[in-house]
Structures are given as structure tokens and as C-alpha cells.
Structure 1
Amino acid sequence: MTFNNVSMKVSEFIIGGFDAVKTPMAVGVVILIVYVVALLANIINILLILYDKKLHKPMYLLICNLAVVDILYTSSASPTMIGVLVAGVKTISYVPCLIQMFAINLGAVLEMFALAVMAFDRLLAVSCPFHYHSYLTNTRTLVLTYMLWIAACGFAAYCLATVIPLPHCYSVLMYAFCDYAAVIRSTCVDPNYYFNLIATISFFFLFFTFTFICLSYVGIIFFVKLSSNNEKLKMGSTCLNHLIVVTCYYCPIFVIGMLTRLGVVLTLEARNGLLIGTILGPSVVNPFVYCLRTKEIKCKIIKMFQKS
């Protein structure tokens, strides 16, 4: 079904998602500050883990992977939003827009995969404490991480492949950045087929990863009940870090999903706000959770400040 017979060659898109914002500079500065803090915090986390051989363990390699994913995810959209709101640059070229869409989809899927693997890591640590390091070695952790990156790249590439052949009839994107929905709505075709297609795949990823995380915690709770009080406190502390991170990522997604299913029509501003929160929220919370609540990383930071 074609909505508009007059297709056009699009060399650049206009980001119109912030047109209704009354104080764009203030919003842009907030996003800029959050982005810079998230970037620096995640980079510090990565450097601390890479340069300290004592932290070259599966759990810390997974934390390092999560930090890389957070940098990718937040950097996929933040520079564009900051450019629109602070610098007033509302245009983005066609190819960079598609690259941005690819990076956003890649980051979103990798975030789910990273959280699911970290839940599995905690389950192994709690259920098999004496065989943990023989079951989950550094090599196996890296191989598993590479496999998940390849799978996520496949999904992001598929999203890209469904968009490239489509003719475009509009050059204005009524969204905050170049996500899949924004680019599809700029084409001349009925978007519902493509939305349903990607929604089905995305639902599979969400359902699989969230169910896997929940089942992992059911197992963790079972084994924690069998442990001593001291072990319960230690296990609870390490698992709480992961639970905070999971909540920050999945909550905005589930809010959007539930409101949509309930028939609530979100305004453009509300939808953009939730999407921005989904990208920026976890990226800034995750490194601080693991810096402040993980004993080894926190001690490393304290020692660095004491030396300086």
C-alpha cells in the first residue's frame, strides 16, 4: 500500500522531534551533562578493569562489556540531540542517519544481552561457588560476548536492510533522532507491516532476555535461602547491583509497551522523553552502580585518589 506516489531523493533529514520544546537550550544542556558524565564514568570503569590484572575475571569482563555497550548506546543518539537543541543543527545526512539507526538498534539489543549474561553469571556464582571459575573462564566469557555481539549486529543489519530499498516521501523526522520508527515513517509505504515485523522480533528479544533474567533470580533466591547469613549478605549485595541496572533499562520500555497496549496515545514529547530516558538512564546509572557498590572497583578508585 502506497501513501504517497511522489517519492523523492533524500540527501538529508530534518530532526523535528524537539520543535515543541519551549526551552531547547536548557534541555540540551541537561542531555549534554548527562552524556558527558555517562561517557567519562564508563570509560573510567573500562580503564580500571583493563589495567588491573586482579580484575581480569568473568564478572569484571562482563561489567567492562556493559560499559562498552553503554558508550555505544548513548553515543548513538546523544550527539544528534545535543546538536539540535544546543547548536540548532536540525539536519542529518542520509547515510549518517542510517548509521545512527543501526547503532541504536545494536545498542538496544546488546544492552538486553549484556544484562541477561550478567544474570547468568550471578546464578553460577551463587549456585556453584567452588566450580564457578572452572565453568565460566575468561575465554568462555569472551567467546560468549563475541557471539552475542554478532547476533545483535545481525538484527541491526536486518533492520537496516528493510529500510534501504524503500522510497522516501518525507524528509522531516518527527522524532528526537534517527530510530527505526522515524525512518520508516519518512518512506512512502504503509509503516504498519514494518512496525509489526520489527515489533515481533523486538518482543522476542525482550521476552527471552527478561524471562531469562527472572528465572536466573528464581534460582538465585533458592540457593540464597540455603546459605548462611554472611553469604546471604554478600550475595544480596552483588545481585542488588544487577537488579538496579535491570530496573533502569527495562522500566521505561515496559511503560511504553503497557501504555500502548492499554490504548493510551502518547504525545510526541512523552514518547521522546521515554526513549531518551531508555538510552541515557542506564548509561549513566550503570557505571556508578558498579563503581560505588563493587568493593574491588571502589577500592581501586579510592587508592587512585589517595596517590594523587
Structure 2
Amino acid sequence: MAFSSHQDFLFILFLVVYLAALLGNLLILTTVISDPHLHTPMYILLVNLSLGDLCFTSTTVPRLLYSLFTGDKSISHTACLAQLFFFLMAGNVGSYVLAAMAWDRYVAVCQPLHYATVVTLPRCLMLVGGIWVGTTLHSLLHTALISRLTFCTNRDIPHFYCDVYPLLQLACSDTSLNYAIALVEGSADIILPAACIVTSYGFIGAAVNRVRATGGLRKALTTCGSHLTVVMLFYGTLIIVYIQPLGQAEAQGRGADLVASVMFSVVAPTLNPYIYSLQNHKIKTSLARIIKINWI
């Protein structure tokens, strides 16, 4: 793998960010699991978002830290494929969970009287299970397609983790099928949850527009603010990294693309739990209660 200079500074920076990601997501998981009052569809989705974020950062950052600390930038073929699989799975889990959370917020704002009967716990668990199964199959598809390729020896991956486009850039065999699948299936895997989010917020915006009272607008912002912030951070960087012409995709891993990749795969999963915990009254109250009990 190829890295820039100033490795000591980068090691400390990524170590701090990774520890922050671990702390924030583990606090979300511990808080929701420990408090029976939070065993509701909304917080079940939040737990799965945190699980996806933990997997996301743990797939890439520890290996990066090892490389920065030891100077060993090599990675085996098997380890690279494993990293690719878990990275794709975690990223897609986050994408689809955010779409499910948009649906949850749509029902909460637009159909509040029917919320308890529409967004039920069994339905939520089935949705989450489908997300994990679907994203696993998606990751298996791309990993299997990459594993069939022949790679040139003594080459650096122009990236700080194993991803589809950087690996395709190094392949010596025909990659036309890989690019076609990445363009069609991969793009659909991004567009479908994004379309669900946009549609949900379109209905939410229309409902808020009909409510002229300031209190209604404030309630809608409180309900959707955290989720909308996370969505903008996630999809803003994801689009830069993956939705691009083929020529740019082949040059991925340099300049602005590398910065966007860091934002997408490291910074966004780190900020997500803090965005939710800082703006969610129930999370803060439950967390304070847990801390108080443990201190006592």
C-alpha cells in the first residue's frame, strides 16, 4: 500500500480518530442494549448503524495503523479480499440502514397516529435481517469477481485500503465484467437507498410545509435533524468516491478522491454516534443514568 510522509503524525491522528469511533459506537450499543425503554424500532436501527460503523472503521483503520507504525505496507491477497468483503458489507449496511431510518422518520412525521402499527418491532427486525443478508450477498459478488482476476506483481495499491476500483486498476486480466457489474449493480446499490431517503424527505418536507405553526416545524427538525446530518455526510463523500466516470474511477486514490475516501470510511462513521447522542434526549438521559449507576 502507498502512503504519504509524516507517518508519525498520521499514526497519532488515525489512532485518536479510531478510538473516538470505538468509544462513540460502543456507547450507543451499550446504552440501547442496557435500557429496555430503548428497545424500539428507531433505536434498533440506530444499533445496527453503529454496528455497521464499527465494522467500517475496524476493517480499514487497524491495518492502516499497523502499516504506519511498522512501515510494513504489504498485504496478502487473502487479507486484501477479506478487507474488501467486510468494507463493502459495512458500507452497504450503513447505506440501507439510513434508508430504513428515513422510512421510520417519514412514518413518525407524516403518519404519527399509525406509527405504532406500521413501524413494529418484528417488521423492523425482518428489515434489518434482510439488510444484512442482502449486503453480504452484494459483498460476496464483488469479492468473487475480484478473486478471479490476475494481478501484476510488485505493485502498490493506490489507496489506503483494498477497494474495488483501486484493485481493478492493478489487474492484468480482463476487467470489463467487473467494471460493468460495479457500474450497474454497484450504482443501483447506492441509488436505491438514496432514492428511498430522498422520497421520504420529500413527503416529510411537504408535510412540514402544510404545518404553519412554528412548533410543528421545530418538532420535525428535532425528529429528523440528526438523521439528515448523517445522511448528508455519508452520501456527500460516497458520491465523490463511487459515482464517477470510468476514467476517474481508474485514477481513484489520489488527491481529492483520497480525502473523500478518508471522510467516507473513517470520519463519517466516527461522527455518526456523536451526532445522534448529542441531539437525542433519550440517549443522553439513558447514558447519564447508566454512568450514574456504575459510579454509585
Post-superposition offset of 1:273: 2.1
Aligned to 1:285: 271
Aligned to 1:5: none
Alignment of 1:126-205 (within 5 A): 126-172=109-155, 173-205=157-189
Which of 73, 80, 83 aligns to 1:100? It is 83
Identity level (%): 25
Matched, 1:209 2:193: yes
Matched, 1:236 2:221: yes
Query: Which AA in structure 1 matches 2:238?
Result: I
Post-superposition offset of 1:266: 6.5
Q: Deviations over 1:158-191 (max 9, x none)?
A: 0011122222222432221111223333332143
Q: Deviations over 1:78-130 (max 9, x none)?
A: 11111112222212222121110001111121111011110000001111112
Unaligned 5+ segments in structure 1 are 1-14
Query: Which AA in structure 2 matches 1:178?
Result: C
CA contact (8 A) 1:171 1:186 kept: no
Q: Deviations over 1:276-304 (max 9, x none)?
A: 21111221111001111011001122334
Query: Which AA in structure 1 matches 2:173?
Result: V
CA contact (8 A) 1:249 1:281 kept: no
3-state SS, counterpart of residue 188 of structure 1: coil
3-state SS, counterpart of residue 28 of structure 2: helix
3-state SS, counterpart of residue 48 of structure 1: helix
3-state SS, counterpart of residue 130 of structure 1: helix
Aligned to 2:234: 249
Distance 1:300 1:213 in 2: 28
CA contact (8 A) 2:31 2:290 kept: no
Matched, 1:271 2:254: no
Which of 204, 210, 217 aligns to 1:226? It is 210
Number of residue pairs matched? 291
TM-score (norm. length: structure 1): 0.88
Alignment of 1:101-120 (within 5 A): 101-120=84-103
Query: Which AA in structure 1 matches 2:223?
Result: T
Post-superposition offset of 1:213: 0.7
Matched, 1:73 2:45: no
Distance 2:209 2:256 in 1: 42
TM-score (norm. length: structure 2): 0.91
Matched, 1:54 2:40: no
CA RMSD of aligned residues (A): 2.1
Distance 1:170 1:64 in 2: 41
Q: Which moved more, 1:255-264 or 1:178-187?
A: 255-264
Aligned to 1:9: none
- Structure holding more helix per residue: 2
CA contact (8 A) 2:149 2:175 kept: no
Which of 284, 288, 292 aligns to 1:302? It is 288
Query: Which AA in structure 2 matches 1:248?
Result: L
Q: Deviations over 1:135-166 (max 9, x none)?
A: 11111101100001111111100001112222
3-state SS, counterpart of residue 161 of structure 2: coil
Query: Which AA in structure 2 matches 1:27?
Result: L
